[in-house]
Each structure stands twice: as C-alpha cells, then as structure tokens.
Amino acid sequence: MKIIIAGAGVGGMALAALLRQRGATAELYERAPNFDHSGYMLGLYPVGARVFHGLDLMDDFVAASERMATYTVCNGHGEEIHTYELGPMLDQFGYSGGIMRGELLALLRQRCADVPLHFGTSVTDFDDSGEQVTVQLSDGTQNTCDLLVGADGIHSGIRQKLFGDDAPDHETGWGCWVWIVRNTSRPATAVREHWGAGRFLGVYPIKGGLGVVAAGPSRTVGPEAVGRDGRKVKEHFSALGPSVSDLVDALPDDLGGTFWWKLSDHRSKSWAKGRVALLGDSACAFLPTAGVGASIALESAAVLDDELGRTDACFLAGALARYEERRKARAEAFQADSRKLASMMMIESVGMSWGRDQLMKFYTLDMLAKTIAQSLAKPI
C-alpha cells in the first residue's frame, strides 16, 4: 500500500516514522520550506509521549525536553492560588516533558530519514477514483497513492475538500503571542500560569529555557489592535504584576520572531471518506489550554498505523472506519476538556475572575482536566 501524507507536522511525521518502522511505503509533502523555524513549545503528557517507546525514541525525547514537575496557577496579581504536583500522575503513567515543535519534528525525522519528504510543496487538490487517489501538488506535478492522509493542520484544505465547511470553527475571540526566554534563573521544571482578567500568561519548561504564552482578547492585544508594536503587548501583560516582569521584558519591542496564534478549534464531522483519512488537528483541532493537541495527534498516528498494519489496499474502508471509531469520541472528549479550561482561563470581567480564583483554590487536577486524567488508564 502506498500512502501519501500531506503535512509533516506532529501527526504526519509520527505516522511516517511508524509506517517506516514496519516497512510500509510512504511519501510526505510539507508546505513549509524546512523545519528550521522551531515554532512554539509543546508540552507532551504520557498520552502522546508513550508513542516514543514504540519508536525507540523515548531516551532522545527525554534528553531533548524538560520535565514538567509542578503546575502552579496564580491570580492576576501574581499570588499563588494552587500548586499541583504532577509527580503522582507521572509516576503511574510515564514521563511528561516540554520540547520545541521543531526539535520534536527533527527527532521523528530520525526514524524516517529515508522516507521522501518534499519541503516547500503543498497538496493543492486530489481526486479519489475509488481505486486510487491522484494528488495535485503546488509544483505543478501529481502523484498517486492508495491512501491520502490529510495531516495538514487546523485549517486543513483536505478536510474542506472532503466535507466542505462541515462546521464553523469554535472561536474564543482570544489569541496569544508566544516567545522563548533563555538564561533564566526561574525553576526549570515548573509550569506556571497567571490567570488575570482579560489577560493570561503561561510559562512552560523547555530544554535550556522557558516558553511564554501571553493570551488576551484579539480586539485588545491582537495584531489588529497593536500592529507589530511589542511595547503595547508588554504594557497589557505588565498589569499581571512584577512577578512576570522578567518574562514580559524579554519580548522584543518589534515582536520579532513571534506570531499571533488565534485561539480557535475545529471538529470534523468525520475522520475518513473513501481513500482519504484525516489525522491530528485536521480531524479534531485543539485550543492549547489543556496542552493535549500534539499528544492526540501522536496517539492517532499510532492507531492509524495499527489499523493500516492489519489490512491491505483492497480493504481500506474497514480499517479507516475502525480508526475513526477508536479515535473520534476520545479526541472530542479531550477537546471538551480544553474548551472547559479555556472558559475558565479566558475571562474578561474582574468580578468573574475573582470568583474563578476562589473556586480554583479547591479544584483538584482531576476536576480541572477530568478526561485527560481518566483517559490515561483507558484502552485506546
């Protein structure tokens, strides 16, 4: 069976590595020119990270990432509301670590170095004849395969072609700026979030530094409000108090190297049709609030590979139906957790924010992310 994967992101690269491991024929097309821009940081729970065991990449992942040991929620004045020890969960299920997206992709590439990967080439269209899929590419050429996997992210063109505008994106009206702080004296393994009114700032460990996510309403702190003036962004987040000033100061005044990520997600009505399957964010995209999108993309890649490993090109329909059955409800339950967290984090009213802070004193980790906590013990 020949498989074309559109998108060499977390899901696409993990699938390529898994397929390569059992000798299946795959080919990757990636719109970006290379992996050089390392993007943003990803925190990986054992949900997804355990896929590295099967690829014999766990030691490399541990070496390239920073362990997440504690999770602290502070209020909008920098006062600690609650610190959660992640140790009990990790001791039971495995390692959790933070890594730059580009470094994660480079790790996965080690396990599929000889799988053709065409950078700077997008899948622009496809035609599924029922016997095979003909894929149109942005360089004007075409290629054919038995299965096309759309691992092309939240704004998936493959999903749109398969199902049209199946559902509107779930919009929060918020977005975030992301930057990296190196050479900091802050604790290396502490995840720390500041939940204010109309502003959120999170700090996430990576090897040799910290990733910072600063989120707020698009109309207040998005590019349409501040342009590329980093001083306005700094002013907005400085209101979280002196405990974040070292992080806020590290943001370049011209916002150089940082992006504005719109905080929205999407749920595809189906994960496969004919000889085309969706993987990762293209099937079910995530707000970064629960930090699970990449984990789910990894887990889905493992399940898709598992189903493909027990069929051939003639009986693809059954395999893809089982893939969807094993993945869709689970991914959507995680997505519901990330939406619930978003509704707690993204509050603009000062009064509601105060009420939320009082509740957070009594919230356990299980209550915050119920599905995530329970799912680790469930079969996939």
Ligand X SMILES: Cc1cc2nc3c(=O)[nH]c(=O)nc-3n(C[C@H](O)[C@H](O)[C@H](O)COP(=O)(O)OP(=O)(O)OC[C@H]3O[C@@H](n4cnc5c(N)ncnc54)[C@H](O)[C@@H]3O)c2cc1C
Residues at the site binding ligand X, with contacts judged by CB under 6 A: 6-12, 29-32, 40, 42-44, 122-123, 151-153, 157, 176, 178, 261, 280-282, 286, 288, 291-295, 297
**Residues forming a β-bridge with 213:** 178, 202
The angle subtended at Cα 183 by Cα 181 and Cα 184, nearest 5°, is 75
Q: Which is nearer to ligand X, 204 or 347 (CB)?
A: 204
Q: Which is nearer to ligand X, 32 or 344 (CB)?
A: 32
Q: How far is the CB of 242 from ligand X (least distance, A)?
A: 25
Cβ atoms of residues 287 and 266 within 8 Å: no
**Residues forming a β-bridge with 195:** 75, 200
Q: Which is nearer to ligand X, 53 or 262 (CB)?
A: 262
Cβ atoms of residues 76 and 355 within 8 Å: no
Backbone angles phi, psi at 57, to 5 degrees: -115, 0
The angle subtended at Cα 116 by Cα 111 and Cα 120, nearest 5°, is 110
Q: Which is nearer to ligand X, 113 or 314 (CB)?
A: 113
**Residues forming a β-bridge with 171:** 264
Q: Which is nearer to ligand X, 175 or 196 (CB)?
A: 175
Task: Give the chain's radius of gyration (CA, Å).
Answer: 21
CA-wise closest residue to 365 among 68, 136, 160: 68
Q: How far is the CB of 175 from ligand X (least distance, A)?
A: 9
Q: How far is the CB of 212 from ligand X (least distance, A)?
A: 10
Q: Which is nearer to ligand X, 345 or 357 (CB)?
A: 345
Which residue of the chain is nearest ligand X when measured via CB?
9
Cβ atoms of residues 54 and 302 within 8 Å: yes
Q: How far is the CB of 213 from ligand X (least distance, A)?
A: 6
Could you tell me the sign of the dihedral formed by the alpha carbons of 57, 62, 65, 68, in that order? positive
Q: Which is nearer to ligand X, 241 or 302 (CB)?
A: 302
Q: Where does the chain have alpha helices with state H? A: 10-21, 46-49, 51-54, 58-64, 87-93, 101-110, 157-163, 218-221, 223-226, 230-238, 245-249, 293-308, 316-345, 350-360, 365-368, 370-375
Q: How far is the CB of 32 from ligand X (least distance, A)?
A: 5
CA-wise closest residue to 339 among 289, 297, 292: 289
Q: How far is the CB of 249 from ligand X (least distance, A)?
A: 21
Q: How far is the CB of 42 from ligand X (least distance, A)?
A: 4
